[in-house]
Amino acid sequence: MTTLLSPKKRVLNTVFRSGITEGLDIRVKLLTRSKVTAVMYIHNIHLNYTGFVNGGALMAFADLIGAAGASMNKPADFRGGTIESKTNFFAPGKAPLIHALSIPLHIGRTTSVWQTKLTNSDGKLVAVVTQTQISLPSAK
């Protein structure tokens, strides 16, 4: 008999079980079908030559958090991924950590749209990432 994992355990064992999660030093704080929060601890490897967080690191962080929310809303036997992503930067990302808050703007049958706000420790808005996630039956 196969034991079905809860959506939360399934997402923690898939989306967050990768080298990128460790490399970015991401810690999930809240993982539900309608909200995901997390923090990324900033290290020298995350910084660009100006001493601020590299935009690519911020985009990767937001992508993982949005993907986690989308994955919470799809059936266990489905796969998915990001099919579109848009980032608006507002301020430099700064150490010691970046906060993420991701919420769904739309959850449909095959796609969902997630908005992730990234803020510095002082609450200043760093970026807003809007991404579309697809959900498809797993290949047999």
The string of pLDDT tens digits covering residues 57-113 is 999 999 999 999 999 999 888 999 999 999 999 999 999 999 999 999 999 999 999
Q: Is 122 exposed, middle or buried (0-12, 13-18, 19+ CB in 10 A)?
A: exposed
Q: Model pTM?
A: 0.93
Q: Which domains does the chain have, with CATH numbers?
A: 7-137 (3.10.129.10)
Q: What is the 3-state secondary structure (H, E, C) of 1-53?
A: CCCCCCHHHHHHHHCCCCHHHHHHCEEEEEECCCCEEEEEECCHHHECCCCCE
What pLDDT, on the 0 to 100 scale, is given for residue 40? Answer: 98
